[in-house]
Amino acid sequence: MVTAAQPLTLHKAGTSRKTGTPRAAAVRHLGPNWYASVMGTAIVATAGAGLPGHVPGLRTACTAVWALSLTMLLVLLTARTLHWAYHRDQARAHLLDPAMAPFYGCLSMALLAVGGGALVVGQDWIGTRTAVALDFVLFGIGTAIGLVAAVAVPYLMVVRHRIEPGQASPVWLLPLVAPMVSAALGPLLVPHLPTGQPRETLLFACVAMFGLSLLAVLVMMPMIFARLITTGPLPLALTPALFLVLGPLGQSTTAVGKFADFAPGVVPTPFEQGFSTLAVLYGVPVMGFALLWLGLAVAMVLRARRRGMGFAMTWWAFTFPVGTCVTGAEVLGRHTGLVAFEVLAVALYVLLVAAWSVAAVCTARGLVSGELLATPSRR
């Protein structure tokens, strides 16, 4: 399995003495970072459904992509269950690896992304009642896992991991962003709760998760930027992880927009007006910084590509974070009425689809060849 900092220079997988079955042997190096592929696929569906205008066939295509993400999630949950059942030594090693442990936040975000997609587009095929039930289950489990990861991973980093100066990585943001995904997708469930306290409680719980995630990210991001300035570029295979910084930026912008969308009739009038104001006054400057970081990240990736950066599972970082910027631009377009944000949403979505297509094809090729599930070799 390719970890956050490993290039795709692999050997064919062998048979482990502890595997029990060939199928179990195949998942020995299947890490939690694989859930990023589910996140990246689901965001293609939900972001596409919110684009301005009407493109014939787009919603049907988005629903099909969501169905693919649901299938991928079920397959990965099964494979990861086998991983934990037959390869607990490897699973524990992942938890004790500061480059891999943060990816446990991806499990939460994969569950949340697929659950949210069920309400956005999946209900077209499975019906509203089934979509609501599915989202309630995935949102509940995903939020619980995300909150645990937001505490457990930093705890492990402090007391168990041995991190040297200059090792700060955008990957560290993953468990901290998971509650922000809950904050952005939770409001979709508000109309499906009884009126009164249940709706208001869920909405303000999402606001609380927005706050805890945002403040935690603000603590972590200066270390990441300082590492770049003082130590230099990231290793080639890890360079795509720079796109992960876009995740909390785009997702927080989406979250405040969703608060404003679902606040009417749920919270008192002063709060309702405050959420509408926050959606614009917070979202616009944060989106501006997201575009600045996108330019920096693209420049660094092009530099790494010229120096021989090959495919690794870190390429999925090109998908979900960009998708959150699409949804952020969409909510800003609705709340400001500016065509510029609508154009930005479409342009970013084109980038998202292109990135997803490349990552999906390369991943499928690596699975067929066996390289992505082989024993990693370190240079």
- Provide the CB-side half-sphere exposure for 126 (13 A, CA): 20
User: How far is the C-alpha of 286 from the C-alpha of 306, rounded, in Å?
Assistant: 30
Q: Does the pLDDT at position 104 exceed 50?
A: yes
User: Is residue 216 very low, low, confident or very high in pLDDT (cuts 50, 70, 90)?
Assistant: very high
SS3 category, 1: coil
Q: Would you state the pLDDT for residue 93?
A: 86
Q: What span, in angstroms and rounded, lies between the C-alpha atoms of 216 and 156?
A: 16
Q: How far is CA 269 from CA 173, 196, 251, 293, 378, in A?
A: 35, 14, 25, 36, 58
Tell me how far apart the alpha carbons of residues 180 and 212 are, in angstroms, rounded to a whole number: 8
Burial per residue of 123-145, b for 16 or more beta-carbon CB atoms within 10 angstroms, e otherwise: beebeeeebbebbbebbeebbeb
Helical ranges in 88-234 per DSSP H: 88-95, 104-117, 123-126, 128-159, 174-185, 197-231
CB atoms within 10 A of CB 71: 13
pLDDT of residue 23: 60
Asked whether the predicted pLDDT for residue 169 surpasses 50, the reply is yes
Evaluate if residue 151 carries a pLDDT over 70.
Answer: yes
State pLDDT tens for residues 350-367: 999 999 999 999 999 999
149 exposure class (CB count in 10 Å sphere: 0-12, 13-18, 19+):
buried
Closest residue by Cα to residue 213 from 262, 254, 241? 254
Residue type for position 359: A
What per-residue confidence (pLDDT) applies to 33? 93
> Taking the model in full, what pTM does it have?
0.91
pLDDT at 136: 97
- For residue 14, pLDDT over 90 is answered with no
Q: What is the pLDDT of residue 5?
A: 40
Q: Of 106, 375, 99, 44, give the one whose Cα is nearest residue 237.
A: 99
Which SS3 state, helix, strand or coil, does residue 166 take? Answer: coil
Helix-helix angle 197-231:174-185, to 10 degrees: 150
Q: pLDDT tens digits, residue range 291-345?
A: 999 999 999 999 999 999 999 999 999 999 999 999 999 999 999 999 999 999 9
Q: In this model, does residue 283 exceed pLDDT 90? A: yes
Average pLDDT, the chain: 90
Please state, in angstroms and rounded to a whole number, the distance separating the CA atoms of residues 332 and 242. 24
